[in-house]
Structure 1
Amino acid sequence: MRAKKTPLASFLQASLQKLNATTTHAAAIGAVTLLSQTAFADGSVSGKLSDKSGSYGIEGALVTVKELNVQTSTNRDGRYNLPSLPNGEYTLELSYVGADTQTRAIAITDNAILVEHFTLSSNATEHVLVIGEAASLNKALNKQRASNNIVSIVNADAIGNYPDANTSEALQRLPGVSVENDQGEGRYVRIRGLGANFNSVTINGSKVPSPNAGERAVALDTVPSELLESLEVTKTLTPDMDADSLGGTINVKSLSAFDRDGRFYKATLETNFDEHTSQASPKLSLTASDLFSIGDGADNFGVAGALSWYERKFGSDNVETGGAWDVADNAADTRLEEFEQRDYTISRERLGASLNFDYQANDVTNLFLRTLYSEYTDAEERQANVIEMYQFERDDLGDIVLDDEGDEETNDGIPASETGAATIARELKDRTETMKIKSLVLGGKSEWDTWVIDYKLGASQSSEHTPFHIDGAVFEADFEEGIGYSAAKQIYLHAPAEVYAAENYELDEIATAQQITKDKENNIQLDITKRLQLAGNPLALKWGAKLSQREKTSDEEVWAYSNLDEVGFTDEQLLLSNYVATNSGEAQIDYQFGPMGQAIASRPLLNAISPLDKSEYHEEIDSAIADFTVNEDISAAYVMGTLDVDKLRILAGVRVEQTDFTAAGMHYNEYEDEGAEIEELTAASFNNDYSHTLPSLHLRYLIGEKVQLRAAWTNAVVRPTFEQLSPAKVREGDEVEFGNPLLKPLEASNLDIGIEYYGGFASYFSAFVFSKDIENFAYAIDLGATADASLVGPGEISEANTFKNGDSATLTGLELAASKQFSELPAPWDGFLVSANATWTSSEATIEYLDDELFAQRDIHLPSQSDFSGNFAIGYETEKFSLRVAANYKSEYLLEVSDPADAQGDAWVDAQTGIDFLARWYASEKVQVFVQGVNLGDQGYYVYSGEGQKDYNFQYEEYGPSFRLGVTITDF
């Protein structure tokens, strides 16, 4: 009996066949070039850069053979290799920011390997070159300087210098990077003002799929920062990289034992105190690595592992309108139709693990295996009051006006200066969702003579599982007078005492649900590099191919328990007073913006519906429409060359990507056609295949030892979100809502020009301007009666809500970054370190909307784009302690366009400033004690309705500051 192949095995077999065909074009180009070149002679120089004690290698130093203009950089274990150099006597130069440049006279002979090791030069700052915040910044600067493209880097030891609990928060300190928060914690990363759906995330170079059903964006708060060795944000793509990022690509690099020599371990224990809820939460992390000798090798096998666990209990208070304002020319006549009070009780648990292996098989081949597992459990209870306000129409005598049928006439909404009636719903949502990310990358590198071959196999899976839960329990009551509100930003409810009495509310519905989303991505990649000479100048020709296979599925089930009086529930049983919390500490909702009443409890509600036949309450249509399967296969091939001409490095190439997209979902139609009532639920599928050719050019020019100019012209392709590509359609009467699987990908042409100055140890300045021309960005639109009948079906249509490609958009910006270590000053001033960065951006996009059955246009900002964002930090460190205060700012930005036809409905996020503090005491060589303060300014989250209309609340939320106390034990 033949064994059944696993999905990964089947992917490998198909990919290896396709990889051969995909590389043919790129290999042919490379072969033609190779035949016209002369290879170097057979001599080489290699070695390692270590700190003075030799305890571990230093990455990012530039090693140059001056006379040949041949250059490389030290890798993550400090090693370098310059192969196949012609016979002769030369000058070997090693340059590392923060240390003295070293030169040596060397002689290259045929068939000989010259070994030249370096240690950090002896100077006044040597004792801090490898330890402390300034040292970690200095390491990152050296990596940035050596890169062929524009990158920003933060190292693992630098992450610990700020109170950042997860990966996204660690990234927000970099130039041009800011984060979007969820419940006060950093979640999604924005790069150069572009939202997370415009950026990509990789772990060890392998793409990470998104656990969220409708998104491509990866919520990086799911990845604990303790699992990382470094974070790299690439802002200009080279042809050997995936082309699916407009703002940038975030690469999460996990630990390697070769990052250090010998045994290493670190343990951190801390507690977090949340001022808002007065609760303390524990956190524990462990990191360890060691080197072993296998066979004839010495320390040629490395094992590194990390474990992190963090459980945080906290909460927030929220009041929001969702834009339910009827704005009048006279502000006094503006009416608020509805608003909602929300109280959140939250528990978030993060568990992360990483286990990595490195093997130097011989002098030619290095192999590695990288694994990462992250599990993020978010338990959230939301108590809410939804206040839908109206006023009775009254005649001159104050009597309520009745219509022809005897019904009471009302006006929606209430002006802030008046009171009226309201229907108030007391609601509960109680759910626990678990997001998981699994990543495995197996690969290696073989290098001999003038050839380098890199090979890599990646498998990643993300998932989000929300078990059976209360999605919305609703109790309602009507109040005919005395309901009002005050303030516009932070809205307060004014209501009589009976509004807060549980016995006045009756159960309307209990909605329950469960959902699971899975997103899998497998990829295989092969890269080949050949070192050559072109007219006496060093040339590295590189070509290769990558195949990736992605499958995203979503499965949701919905049940709605309503009309319970028809199945035996008495009037008494339907009262809210039967379902409130009885514990005295939980009975009243702890809400900061006024009273809310007693808290609704989940268990009595679930007990009440447990005897009912669940199948009779299953929402077949809603459950089916939410399910989909999407497959996206991408085949890519590229060729590029890197040429050094004197002080100029030129990198040019082209990447070709072929995308095969399929989507399967459900269509629901309920309408009348020629007198017949139509109701049907049918399966639907779509196919959309397309290709892109993406050229790029990178230039780097050295002006002296400390200054370099950079310029890049690149092209990117960003595919629409899965929500936008959804194959689902729901039509009820003359209203229809559907996704658009035939949307075109966003295409962008990018130009970056800038200068970098490396002034010494941890001292740096850069300035970059950038411009992005964008086509085919997607946005929501109501096509109304213009909708294609083949999509919506026969008959009249009044609303057709879907997604459409925009014609064009632009984004331009200026990015500045600087840091300065004042080591040249006399004590005690030599311990100060200042770092700052600022990014100014401007964007414009044109969207369409229907106006009296004709299309009109208006200009908007790109969503998530702040005109200004910046960071500022000032620190002071000695051998015994370090202090740090950091501020993070981002100006207001467009969150979403609720209605393309109505700018007043646009949701804007107000400017935010976060202030954090850290103090660290080095109790001994191995023990550090630290205190951190987060959000010391008690920055909230405010969304308002309409650009510049800050008086009109869309959402307001407060979290309060938090504090951490911990100890770290390290042993090298």
Structure 2
Amino acid sequence: MGVSKGCLSSGRAARSPLAICIQVALATGLCAGMSSALAQDEATETEENIEVISVTGSYSRSLEQANDLKRYNTGFSDSVVATDIADFPEQNLAEALQRIPGVTIERDKGLGTRVNVRGLPTEFTHVSINGLATASGSGGRDVEFDIFASEIIQQVTIQKSPTAADEEGGIAGSVMISTARPFDYSESRFIASAEAAHNSMSGEVDPRVSFLASTTSGPWGGLASLSFATRTNRTDSNSGVDFRPLERFAARTGSAERDAQGQQAVDVVERDTGRVIDDRFDSDETSRVVFLNKAGDRIYLNDQEKWGATAALQYRPSDSFSLTLDAMLGGYNTTEDEYDAAAYSASSISTLEQIHDYDDTTLADYGIMVLTDASYTATQHEFLSKETVSDTDFSQLSLSLDWRQGPWSVSGLVGYSGASKLEDFANLKHVAFAPSRTRYTERGGETIPSQSGAGFDMYQDVEQYVFESYQVNLEEVDDDKYAAQLDITRDMRLGWLPALMDIRFGVRYTDKSKQRNFGDTLVGGPAAGDASWSNTRLLTESELEYVTDIVPGGGYRPNDINWMQPSNAYARSTFRYPGFAVDFEPGEFYRVDEEVLAGYLMANFGFDVGRVPVALNTGVRAVDTSVNSFGFHQVQNPDGSTGYTESPVSSDGSYRDFLPSLNLTAQLTDQVVLRGAASRTLMRPALTDIAYRRSVSWNEFRFSDGNPDLEPTYADQWDLGLEWYLDNGGLFAATYFEKRIEGVVRQELTGIVEDVEKLNANGTLDGYYDFDVYQPINADGSYSISGLELIAHLPFDAIHPALEGFGINSNYTMLDNSLTGASTLNIPTPPEGLADKVYNATLYFENDRFDARVSYNYKDDYVEVIERNMYPVYREGYGQVDIALGYQLSERVRLTLKGINMSDEATRGYTIDPRFPVMNEFSGRRISLGIRADI
């Protein structure tokens, strides 16, 4: 957008501490009272000197405003404002937030998707827009930030220590997003920008346009903004090299052939490694011998179309009354094509043939031996053409009231937030069974013909493959939330208690509902119910193309290979026969309704300790939550026959909580602030975990159930920080924090379903097996996380006047945790998403005509998932260089050149140790040229 919130006075010299405090309070409603003596001395001067301004294209001024928001906010927080958001190279709001101290993002194929605050999982972060908690098209509570265009956002504050007045504290923190309003500007504005971006992998050029128009007339103001962007991104990935426990082969039984396969697996291990398996049915023993489950090469092409719009109608007849209607709409539509050539070593008819190499030393502490190079008797070689079409629509509407009359202030909010997501997933699968050899490479894995002589070249011998199935899944998620809140503040300033600045109390009601429909269909022939193609139709009967011709951008980066398979366009037109449809299955439906009634009481105190002004905010929030979960559960057939049916079930639950909080600020000097905070907060369980539902993983012989009896995860936390604000707008800050978290949600084995019928893809019987049942539970005990956040924003003119315009803005976060034992094999595992260190640094220069920024962002290794609840899979440490250049062509027109991932970093991962890579992924650079006009 390029225009920051107009909330600060026009010159540095005129900005007294209380003046800025009052102005920031007007903008955010978060400023605690300063000392009463300071208020009396400066109140008159403040009222006379406030001048609303706006800043266009000034990165250093946006940093100053973010620093002011941090300085005079209640508790610990960090912010970015519009210029900072808009002028950095980012593809969405998630990437705009990654430079905030303590904030990291999760990337998916080169795109920032979800936000982590202080290293905690994304579902521990509470997100609101204009004071209203945000709905999401995901199945949980986490918000998919990639759906939001950063151009329509005015300001984002990460509140890291909650107050009683917050809707939810969020164990990690609260992301508070604000869109623009007409009275943010001192005059009518029209801003338009256009940009074209080139991706080095796909070779495509993507447009992005946005505009904002704002005007005021007397007490009325109106504003509208719109952003539209497309993105075509290619990702090449040698990946999927996950661990599979030997149990997959060793525990086979049910026929003489399967018994022989199971025994052969343990015999080969003993023959080629010397390791003896005493009981091939002991999962603890066989889970400590692992092999490469699947090694594959794949190319993704992701086409996105994203739009977002905001509108605000504001009535402000005086400084003491304001009524604002805010609206936010948007859509995020993606089509992702994925082309895989993969070898599934753990196929249902295979077993070990020969072990060529193994590692029994790297993971010896856990008793794990890794078969790093092995041959298999009947590997399932696969060509997979996958297509995911996803449409997400979101909308938010809120009406807010701010009114001040004498010592009383009243704020009110009613609003709605909704998101709906429809996802169509298709997978065309061709297979060929043959002996093969799969082994680790330096960065991933590869499959080559078996030394037995019966194998083949899986990439080139396409005549070996036959059609297995064309599977289509359809999922629909609807998320709706209604809210109403009333807040009342009473200025006190009592003669007998001068320290009490004000008291605040309020009530909030929210009604949240999330429901999901799902259906799937397996196409086996040219008509419904026809399976004539399965295992008979050859791959060569389909229209084949080299994948590097189907997907733009040239050769495959991880390896010097190429292969042919059908395109998704061909698959859709050929295998979706006339009349094809996917019906939602009643047994897959679930719905969760949640009502929350909360009330709070909070007080602000301002007093002096000696010559040190102190501001104290303290309060308590009472929360009453009721939940209704409805879905279907699998039960034994009533007649006792083999098989299971879905039975409708529902459950009601409730819990009550009292959540205290305290925030304290001491102005040690004019420039140095000491800050402390303590609170108890919660994060409610994901609605998908609460829901009555059962999903199945046939390959893992596992059911996953919901758990309506889940309770929230709680945290007791405290922070202590020291902040030094420089005269030239710079900042040095250090914050230490600790969190003790209890009731963390984990997946746990809660039962076994015996004699489950498992079919092959062509409908033939595979066998009857015992399936494990896993459910999310609130784990016993607690774990602690501690960390240190360091911030350094230094304009270099503080060093020498000749360096005016140069500066650095950087932050560094170190984390430590006590969590172990999340793995069923007792492998020490930190929380998912927790990185030990995160840092970013931006060097910048700007003058009246030109500005330049170079930024480096780094996130250390972190656990991405705990595979099969056994083996932690890490995302390798990742850092990338981004650049942004701007030139002011005229007073109103600015030219920009931006680059994302200029260092062309690859995304990599590993299982437990870097010697066992799981992913080597390339998404390329992105360079854009843009122009902006500010009228």
Q: Same fold (TM over 0.5)?
A: yes
- Once residues 167 and 844 of structure 2 are traced to their aligned partners in structure 1, the CA distance between those partners, rounded to angstroms, is 37
Q: Which residue of 1 aligns with 2:717?
A: 750
- Quickly say closer, same or farther: Cα 1:420–1:682, change in 2 above 3 A: closer
What one-letter code is carried by the residue in structure 2 that aligns with 1:526? L
Q: Report if aligned partners of 2:32, 2:72 keep a CA contact under 8 Å in 1.
A: no
- Once residues 564 and 161 of structure 1 are traced to their aligned partners in structure 2, the CA distance between those partners, rounded to angstroms, is 53
- Once residues 862 and 198 of structure 2 are traced to their aligned partners in structure 1, the CA distance between those partners, rounded to angstroms, is 31
Q: Which residue of 1 aligns with 2:705?
A: 738
- Quickly say closer, same or farther: Cα 1:551–1:571, change in 2 above 3 A: closer
Q: Report if aligned partners of 1:873, 1:884 keep a CA contact under 8 Å in 2.
A: yes
1:582-593 residue pairs with structure 2 within 5 A?
Answer: 586=549, 590-592=555-557, 593=559
* DSSP-derived class of the 2:819 partner: strand
1:413 positional shift: 10
- Once residues 317 and 538 of structure 1 are traced to their aligned partners in structure 2, the CA distance between those partners, rounded to angstroms, is 61
Q: Which residue of 1 aligns with 2:295?
A: 339
Selected match of 2:847 from 865, 878, 881: 878
1:680 positional shift: 2.0
Selected match of 1:480 from 426, 435, 449: 435
Q: Which residue of 1 aligns with 2:762?
A: none
Selected match of 1:464 from 412, 421, 426: 421
* DSSP-derived class of the 2:68 partner: helix
1:587 positional shift: 5.4
1:360 positional shift: 0.7
Q: Which residue of 2 aligns with 1:532?
A: 492
- Quickly say closer, same or farther: Cα 1:180–1:572, change in 2 above 3 A: closer
Q: Report if aligned partners of 2:716, 2:741 keep a CA contact under 8 Å in 1.
A: yes
Selected match of 1:243 from 159, 165, 168: 168
- Once residues 348 and 59 of structure 1 are traced to their aligned partners in structure 2, the CA distance between those partners, rounded to angstroms, is 47
Alpha-carbon RMSD across the aligned residues, in angstroms, is 3.8
* DSSP-derived class of the 2:201 partner: coil
1:257 positional shift: 1.4
Selected match of 2:342 from 386, 409, 420: 386
The answer as to 2:42 corresponding to 1:93 is yes
The answer as to 2:358 corresponding to 1:436 is no
- Once residues 826 and 331 of structure 1 are traced to their aligned partners in structure 2, the CA distance between those partners, rounded to angstroms, is 69
- Once residues 38 and 671 of structure 2 are traced to their aligned partners in structure 1, the CA distance between those partners, rounded to angstroms, is 26
1:817-896 residue pairs with structure 2 within 5 A?
Answer: 817-824=791-798, 828-847=802-821, 859-896=828-865
Q: Report if aligned partners of 2:823, 2:872 keep a CA contact under 8 Å in 1.
A: no
- Once residues 418 and 797 of structure 1 are traced to their aligned partners in structure 2, the CA distance between those partners, rounded to angstroms, is 28
1:393 positional shift: 7.0
Selected match of 1:686 from 651, 669, 683: 651
Q: Which residue of 2 aligns with 1:271?
A: 196
Selected match of 2:78 from 152, 176, 188: 152
- Once residues 634 and 418 of structure 1 are traced to their aligned partners in structure 2, the CA distance between those partners, rounded to angstroms, is 57
- Quickly say closer, same or farther: Cα 1:77–1:571, change in 2 above 3 A: closer
Selected match of 2:10 from 35, 45, 51: 51
Structure of higher CA gyration radius: 1
1:669 positional shift: 3.1
Q: Which residue of 1 aligns with 2:602?
A: 640
Query: In percent, how many aligned pairs have the same letter?
Result: 20
Task: List runs of 5+ in structure 1 lacking aligned partners.
Answer: 1-46, 66-70, 95-102, 107-114, 121-125, 294-299, 399-411, 788-794, 852-856
The answer as to 2:476 corresponding to 1:551 is no
Mean CA deviation greater in 494-503 or 954-963: 494-503
Q: Deviations 1:779-802 (Å, cap 9, x if unpaired)?
A: 111234699xxxxxxx99762211
What one-letter code is carried by the residue in structure 2 that aligns with 1:511? Q
Q: Which residue of 2 aligns with 1:42?
A: none
Q: Deviations 1:444-485 (Å, cap 9, x if unpaired)?
A: 111011000000111100111124x52x1111112335x444
- Quickly say closer, same or farther: Cα 1:388–1:414, change in 2 above 3 A: farther
1:604 positional shift: 3.8
What one-letter code is carried by the residue in structure 2 that aligns with 1:312? R
1:941 positional shift: 1.7
- Quickly say closer, same or farther: Cα 1:292–1:393, change in 2 above 3 A: closer
Q: Which residue of 2 aligns with 1:803?
A: 776
The answer as to 2:591 corresponding to 1:629 is yes
Q: Which residue of 2 aligns with 1:575?
A: 538
What one-letter code is carried by the residue in structure 2 that aligns with 1:275? S
Q: Which residue of 2 aligns with 1:30?
A: none
The answer as to 2:96 corresponding to 1:170 is yes
- Once residues 670 and 210 of structure 1 are traced to their aligned partners in structure 2, the CA distance between those partners, rounded to angstroms, is 35
1:721 positional shift: 1.4
* DSSP-derived class of the 1:168 partner: helix
Selected match of 2:621 from 640, 655, 675: 655
Q: Report if aligned partners of 2:468, 2:524 keep a CA contact under 8 Å in 1.
A: yes
- Once residues 893 and 803 of structure 2 are traced to their aligned partners in structure 1, the CA distance between those partners, rounded to angstroms, is 25
- Quickly say closer, same or farther: Cα 1:59–1:836, change in 2 above 3 A: farther
- Quickly say closer, same or farther: Cα 1:889–1:392, change in 2 above 3 A: closer
- Once residues 208 and 618 of structure 2 are traced to their aligned partners in structure 1, the CA distance between those partners, rounded to angstroms, is 47
- Once residues 115 and 127 of structure 2 are traced to their aligned partners in structure 1, the CA distance between those partners, rounded to angstroms, is 10
Mean CA deviation greater in 822-831 or 198-207: 822-831
What one-letter code is carried by the residue in structure 2 that aligns with 1:818? A
Q: Deviations 1:155-203 (Å, cap 9, x if unpaired)?
A: 0011233112211111101110010012111110000111210001100
What one-letter code is carried by the residue in structure 1 that aligns with 2:595? D
- Once residues 168 and 654 of structure 1 are traced to their aligned partners in structure 2, the CA distance between those partners, rounded to angstroms, is 31
The answer as to 2:374 corresponding to 1:425 is no
1:578 positional shift: 2.9
1:693-712 residue pairs with structure 2 within 5 A?
Answer: 693-712=658-677
- Once residues 175 and 597 of structure 2 are traced to their aligned partners in structure 1, the CA distance between those partners, rounded to angstroms, is 21
Selected match of 1:216 from 122, 141, 154: 141
- Quickly say closer, same or farther: Cα 1:77–1:578, change in 2 above 3 A: same
Q: Which residue of 1 aligns with 2:262?
A: none
Q: Report if aligned partners of 2:547, 2:564 keep a CA contact under 8 Å in 1.
A: no
1:757-796 residue pairs with structure 2 within 5 A?
Answer: 757-784=724-751
What one-letter code is carried by the residue in structure 2 that aligns with 1:841? L
- Quickly say closer, same or farther: Cα 1:498–1:376, change in 2 above 3 A: closer
- Quickly say closer, same or farther: Cα 1:799–1:567, change in 2 above 3 A: closer
* DSSP-derived class of the 2:164 partner: coil
Q: Which residue of 2 aligns with 1:116?
A: 48
What one-letter code is carried by the residue in structure 2 that aligns with 1:178? T
Task: List runs of 5+ in structure 2 lacking aligned partners.
Answer: 1-5, 247-268, 276-288, 357-368, 450-455, 755-767
Selected match of 1:599 from 561, 565, 581: 565
* DSSP-derived class of the 2:774 partner: strand
1:506 positional shift: 0.8
Q: Report if aligned partners of 2:292, 2:438 keep a CA contact under 8 Å in 1.
A: no
The answer as to 2:330 corresponding to 1:361 is no
What one-letter code is carried by the residue in structure 2 that aligns with 1:839? T
Q: Report if aligned partners of 1:59, 1:78 keep a CA contact under 8 Å in 2.
A: no
- Quickly say closer, same or farther: Cα 1:119–1:614, change in 2 above 3 A: closer
Q: Which residue of 2 aligns with 1:937?
A: 903
1:72-87 residue pairs with structure 2 within 5 A?
Answer: 72-74=22-24
* DSSP-derived class of the 1:897 partner: strand
1:766 positional shift: 0.9
1:742 positional shift: 0.5
Q: Report if aligned partners of 2:375, 2:435 keep a CA contact under 8 Å in 1.
A: no
1:850 positional shift: 6.8
- Quickly say closer, same or farther: Cα 1:818–1:527, change in 2 above 3 A: same
- Once residues 374 and 461 of structure 2 are traced to their aligned partners in structure 1, the CA distance between those partners, rounded to angstroms, is 25
Q: TM-score, normalised by structure 2?
A: 0.83
1:762 positional shift: 2.6
- Once residues 721 and 126 of structure 2 are traced to their aligned partners in structure 1, the CA distance between those partners, rounded to angstroms, is 23
- Once residues 546 and 75 of structure 1 are traced to their aligned partners in structure 2, the CA distance between those partners, rounded to angstroms, is 21
The answer as to 2:834 corresponding to 1:915 is no
What one-letter code is carried by the residue in structure 1 that aligns with 2:829? I
- Quickly say closer, same or farther: Cα 1:578–1:587, change in 2 above 3 A: farther
1:323 positional shift: 1.9
Q: TM-score, normalised by structure 1?
A: 0.80
Mean CA deviation greater in 129-138 or 736-745: 129-138
What one-letter code is carried by the residue in structure 1 that aligns with 2:416? A
What one-letter code is carried by the residue in structure 2 that aligns with 1:970? D
Q: Report if aligned partners of 2:135, 2:481 keep a CA contact under 8 Å in 1.
A: yes
